[in-house]
Amino acid sequence: MRDVSQPKLVLTLAAELKRQHVVAPPDWASFVKTGHHRERPPVDEDWWYSRAASVLRTVYLRGPVGTAKLRVRYGGRKNRGMNTDRFFPAGGNHLRKILQQLEAAKLVKQEMKGVHKGRVITPLGRKLLHAVANVVKAEAASTAQSAGVSKTDSAKAESSPQDTAGSQE
């Protein structure tokens, strides 16, 4: 999963979560800000699915995680005018709701590992992530292969030494 483009992985996973109806944005999701550090709500209509995919990926990579750790992960710098900028964590409600929806879909579960308590990925969630990663990897390979074929053909046509030697005589 780490050997594919992570932004493409998140976008593809978001589309898959939307297609399977695993998560659904609440009514208030269209006009809420994602944190105190933001000035406006997200512009993307499907931001809930993208955030859910990103949360699922974060749980896979860093689990066990809870709402507090995710608030820090998705927080950011707030422009406070003449005062110095300061870090503010993201809002917790949308992250908590996403975790609850992923838990209801059995993609994550609550677990305690040592002294760390939080959500970890389930085998079903791991299977979904690996399947989406394989799709992204296959798309990247086919894109690279088709781009490589056209580059190779054009490179052969441009640098054919026999053609250039015959034309100089």
Task: Report how far residue 89's alpha carbon sits from residue 73's, in angstroms, rounded to the nearest whole number.
Answer: 8
What is the pLDDT at residue 161?
52
Domains of the chain (ranges plus CATH)? 6-145 (1.10.10.10)
pTM here is: 0.79
What is the pLDDT at residue 153?
52
For 155-169, what is each residue's pLDDT tens digit?
554 555 555 554 444
Q: Max Cα separation, the chain? A: 80
For 29-52, what is each residue's pLDDT tens digit?
888 877 777 777 777 788 889 999
What is the pLDDT at residue 103?
92
Residue 16 burial by Cβ neighbours in a 10 Å radius (0-12, 13-18, 19+)? middle
- Low-confidence stretches of the chain (pLDDT < 50) are 152, 154, 157, 166-169
Which amino acid makes up residue 14?
A
What is the pLDDT at residue 151?
52
